Chains A and B, each alone.
Chain A
Amino acid sequence: MKVLKKRISRAVLIAIIFAIVTSAALGFVTIAVNAPKTVQNYDNYLYSSDHMRDFSTLYTQLWVATNMYLANTDGSGRYTVNKYHQAALEKLFGEWGIVKNGAVVIDDFENLEYYAECNGKVLSNTDKTPDDLCNTGYAFETTYNGTAYPQKGEYIGLPDCYVYTTSYGLTQYIVNNNVYNVYDFDTTDLPYYYEDNLKYYYKTDGSTPMPSDSDLILDCTPYFIYDTSDLSAVLGNIVQNNIEDARIFRVDDYGNTVALYDQTAHKWIEVQADSDTYFSQSAGGITRSDMRICIAPTKEVIQNYEANENILADYYTKEARYIITLCAILAAAFVIAIVYWVFCGYDLEQGCYRLSFLDKMYTEIYLSAFAFLVFAAVVLIDEILYGVGMYYNQWYSYATEAFADSLLNDMFIRIAISAGVGAATITGVLVTGAIINKFKTKHFIKDSLIFRILKLLWRLAKKAFKVVRNAFLSFGRATHTAFMKRFLLRLGILAIIAFFILLVTMDPEVFLVACILLALVYVFFEVVDAVSIAKLTKRIEDVRNGDYSVTEVKDWDVNYKAQQDLNNISESVTKVVEEQIKSERMKIDLVTNVSHDLKTPLTSITSYVDLLSKEELPDEAKDYVNILIRKTERLNAMISDLFDLAKATSETDVKLEELDAVILVRQVLADMEDKINRYGRDVRSEILPQSVKVIGEGKKLYRIIQNVVDNALKYSLENTRIYLTLTESETEAIITVKNIASYEMDFTGDEITERFVRGSKSRTGEGNGLGLSIAKSFTQACGGSFTVTPDGDVFTAEIRLKKFDYR
């Protein structure tokens, strides 16, 4: 119940977070979708590409007009440059169509006003002074250090327009990345070379410089490379020796070689090392301080732009307010999440943190889920922002366009995406909760798959280390044995000898023969060892067969230690056996003495009871005397049984001989016939084999069978039969006696063969409880086995005697 409650409260928390995040996401999506719509609703020239194009075109035209035409003509439109320069310029103007028939033609742009001025000549499409234009705040103005334009609005790249002049008659114009060379001398028939696909003319009299590293220059040798300070010396050297075709290089500060002198024109040409001498930027070359270009949007454009700005500002303010509200809601969700994280996994009943059913997977699963969610969130946010941003600028990619379109047009998709964000968020919360809970319960590392794998690897490594270590240890131990030592020593010595023979003779045949001889030597030693092992094996066999004699062994024998050990074992065994025999003898003596001490008074009793029986006595007294006679007889039988048992247990003087179990059983049965008849039991004997030769002592075997049959007679139920069978197995003769007990047998087979245990608990009957234990002891003394199995009311005694051939 409590678990359910807990789960419900958790579900409620999660549901709240889901609701908040989903609605917030919907809010954000709505704002994001509405923003470009709002902005797009206004006509905004200043942000348009039209404006950029117009401005670039206008600026380029104005620059060319001022720098190339106005700068090179006077007030009446006449060129102030020489005829070669003029021709080149006119050719360019013809290509561009900016100057037609001595008048400048500028395209008309309705949204832009301009003012350009050079050498007192003005180009303009407005009445306003350049200062007025600049004061609008949206103007562009340049005197070769132009300000950014417009100050309030999108940055528009300024087209690249530069002019360079040289000291030897080349003016280079760069307009929108195109380069134009204009010379003020006649270039007809002049040699030229190409650099960056542009033709450069030069004169061989040295008044126009040669390029420093052009292929046009003939192969000039030798080269001289030298330090600037030694220049005069090198030059002197060249002149003195009348060296032709020499080129002289200098190593500049950056490690590059720079050509300084060229002799190909058969004349020394002096060129300044600085490349600026070839071309200097207009600022450094021709001064155009009187030149000015101003471009500004028209008043309508500016007003329109400012109105848009105001509307947008309003919108953004509103949007910001929305966003702050949504952020606050999200913060609330975050607080709830934190609450969840703090309390998750706490078990009120047990008062400790526990892993809930959601937290039990491998740590890595949560971590990767967490990482994936973070990644997805980043991608999603980026995609939304990017898509929206693209929409803003109206040049989004196709994929983003489709996404943005679907965002814009389909309310259902917006809700679905928001719900997805919510679901992802609660997944994130749960995953984070699970990770936190793992920290709380100290399961973070424990549940980690990597940790488990490492642990397993560590365990395997430890096991492997142990195996290797044991292998080393056992090998180490093995090398301490005489065999290993000798083996290694011989192998080592023979290997060294063989190596030296090879080293000295360097003859493979001699080496082979030597190896064979060494192998023979080795075999000889091995044979010696083998003989020693054979001796040891023989010795062990002897010991097993009871020969405990001590053997002398030479101490160089490989088995010296083993033989010594055997000697020690033999000695101690002999000692133990002697002690055992001694103690057995003492035991027998003790039993004999005790039995004698018991028998002496018993003799007196018997004698006097007998005398008493011969006296004239009243009938009653005679009965008493008869009881005394019977009881003394039983006492006597008991004492002698006890003595027999003690002797049998000590297993001394058993005279084993070969005899026939079949005859034995028949003899015993015949011998006991009287007794059997007296008890009135029918003994059914089934003696299967013709003859079974067994090993044993006749008297003892007789006693065994007698006792067992006796037992069966005494304790069998009246009018039942006793079954005696004799069978044989491969190694044993098996005599079984079965009878139905006259009492309930509540003992086990082992218990009943204990001394003084009788089946029926009443001790009044005949028998002294020694019969079966004597039978057992005697059987064991004869090398057989004796078992008793009570099974229900069936009492089975089994005697197994070893066959003579398997003794």
Chain B
Amino acid sequence: MTPNTENAVILVVDDDRDIVNAICKLLEMEGYKTIKAYDGMQALDCLAQNDIQLILMDVMMPKLDGLSAMMKIRQSRNIPIIVLSAKSEDTDKILGLSIGADDYVTKPYNPMELVARVRSNLRRYLTLGAAGSNIGNMDIKNGSLSVDKAAKQLYIDGEPVRLTATEYKIVELLMENAGRVFSAEEIYSKCWREESYAVENTVMVHIRHIREKIEINPAEPKYLKVVWGIGYKIEKF
């Protein structure tokens, strides 16, 4: 952990004061500083008056809703915004992310996951985004993921992830063809270099293990996705 992230100031915006208090308490326990706002307008005011590194923002709020506020912020600022919403639909998520959110967490959130996401976003914003350090010489980059082919190493937001040889082969295959769907047979024949027969289970087990290593919430994977009835892919960002 770089020292920068630990003193980060986080703006928590929600019309429900109890939720705001709970989140602030949670984040303070992790060592972050928090500022509270209860609607979009207040959020904008706070942002203008304070040095803030990350915003946690609800969507449905009085005066100015989360999405509108986010659009205003994005006109001038680049800080990470995590949308915290009760709307769990794919369309809502896509809308939020395309307007300018860096992440989308649905209510009721898992506190651990929330903290993990906050930390992930802060790291990318403060460490990677500013320094840009070692990401430049990566062979394959896709969102937070990057692969160093020579070292056979996968990085998430610059953090190396420990993978087995087979797992790495799978990740590399999928990263090289991000967005393309591979069937279990294809993955098996390419990564194991053997004749494939009823390999779904084997491949799936590996996929699950990879997911547990690279995803914050493996139940709702962000990168490595199962295309049901067809195969597997890594989402292209």
Contact = CB atoms under 8 A, between A and B. Distances in A.
B208 interface: yes
A659 B86 contact: no
B127 to A, nearest CB: 27
B230 A607 contact: no
Given A608-B18, A660-B229, A701-B228, A603 B200 contact: no
B49 to A, nearest CB: 26
A389 to B, nearest CB: 119
Interface string A587-603: 00000100110011011
Interface string A120-138: 0000000000000000000
A602 B16 CA distance: 12
Interface in B2-44: 16, 18-19, 22-23, 25-26, 29
Given A663-B200, A667-B228, A596 B22 contact: no
B87 A596 contact: yes
Contacts of B204: 666-667, 670-671, 673
B201 A640 contact: no
Nearest to A607: B22
B184 interface: yes
B72 interface: no
Interface stretch (B96-104, B107-115, B188-196): B107-115
Given A599-B86, A603-B86, A608 B107 contact: no
Nearest to B92: A592
B231 A663 contact: yes
A609 to B, nearest CB: 9
A696 B229 contact: yes
A669 interface: yes
A611 B228 contact: no
Given A596-B60, A604-B19, A698 B108 contact: no
A607 B23 contact: yes
A632 interface: yes
B34 to A, nearest CB: 13
A596 B88 CA distance: 9
B220 to A, nearest CB: 11
A298 B16 CA distance: 165
A595 B198 CA distance: 41
B82 to A, nearest CB: 14
Interface residues of B, number: 33
B200 A666 contact: yes
A417 interface: no
Contacts of A666: 184, 198, 200-201, 204
B66 to A, nearest CB: 13
Contacts of A696: 229
Contacts of A599: 86, 107-108
Contacts of B184: 663, 666-667
Contacts of B109: 603, 606-607
Given A667-B200, A670-B205, A702 B107 contact: no
B138 interface: no
Contacts of B26: 607, 610-611
B108 A602 contact: yes
B205 A659 contact: no
Contacts of B29: 611, 614
B229 A667 contact: yes
A592 B227 CA distance: 26
A636 interface: yes
Contacts of B111: 606-607, 610-611
Which of B26, B86, B198, B229 has the most chain A CB atoms closer than 10 A to its own CB? Answer: B229
A661 interface: yes
B228 A698 contact: yes
Contact of A671 (B18, B60, B183, B226): B226
Given A607-B19, A666-B201, A667-B200, A659 B108 contact: no
Interface string B201-224: 101110010000000000000000
A242 to B, nearest CB: 148
Contacts of B200: 663, 666-667, 669-670
Contacts of A661: 229
A179 interface: no
A678 interface: no
Interface string A646-675: 000000000000011101101111110110
A164 to B, nearest CB: 144
Nearest to B227: A698
B107 A602 contact: yes
A133 B236 CA distance: 169
Interface in A670-721: 670-671, 673-674, 694, 696, 698-699, 701-702
Contacts of B205: 670, 673
A663 B230 contact: yes
Nearest to A632: B108
Contacts of A669: 200-201
Contacts of B231: 663
Contacts of B228: 659, 664, 667-668, 698-699, 701-702
Contact of A604 (B22, B198, B229): B22
A201 to B, nearest CB: 148
B28 to A, nearest CB: 10
A673 B201 contact: yes
B175 to A, nearest CB: 21
A331 B75 CA distance: 135
A365 to B, nearest CB: 84
Contacts of A702: 226, 228-229
B16 to A, nearest CB: 6
B19 A659 contact: no
Nearest to B231: A663
B23 to A, nearest CB: 7
B16 A604 contact: yes
B120 to A, nearest CB: 19
A606 B86 contact: no
A673 B202 CA distance: 11
26 contacts: A592-B89, A599-B107, A600-B16, A603-B107, A603-B108, A604-B19, A605-B108, A607-B23, A607-B108, A607-B111, A614-B29, A632-B108, A636-B108, A664-B229, A666-B184, A666-B201, A667-B200, A668-B228, A670-B203, A671-B204, A673-B205, A674-B208, A696-B229, A698-B228, A698-B229, A701-B228
Interface of A: 592, 595-596, 599-600, 602-608, 610-611, 614, 632, 636, 640, 643, 659-661, 663-664, 666-671, 673-674, 694, 696, 698-699, 701-702
* Top 7 A-B residue pairs of the complex, sorted by shortest distance between their CB atoms: A659-B229, A670-B204, A607-B22, A698-B228, A666-B200, A664-B229, A599-B86
